[in-house]
Amino acid sequence: MSTTLTAPALAATDRCDRCNAQAYVRVVLPGGSDLLFCGHHWSRHEEALRPKALEVVDETHRLVESPAVSTDA
């Protein structure tokens, strides 16, 4: 069973559209455009975007596995 819409997995070079941090979520919108979000901005926009999105590639679980880069103190 193949998927009609294949979004590639997120790479380290993919950047959040909002803040240019590494992106962990790709959102594909109707019309074919896609948005990239870091974990921070995805949590902000998830509620609004999920109902509209054709596809959501959520790799935020990788944030938990890898040590935090930014100091969030």
- Residue numbers at the binding site for Zn ion (CB under 5 A): 16, 18-19, 21, 38, 41
Write down the least CB distance from residue 35 to Zn ion, Å. Answer: 11
Backbone angles phi, psi at 36, to 5 degrees: -120, 140
Rank residues 40 and 54 by Cβ distance to Zn ion and give the closer one: 40
Write down the least CB distance from residue 4 to Zn ion, Å. Answer: 29
Q: Compute the distance between CA of residue 47 and CA of residue 33 in angstroms, rounded to an integer.
A: 19
**CA atoms within a 13 Å half-sphere pointing along the CA-CB vector of 32:** 1
Write down the least CB distance from residue 61 to Zn ion, Å. Answer: 17
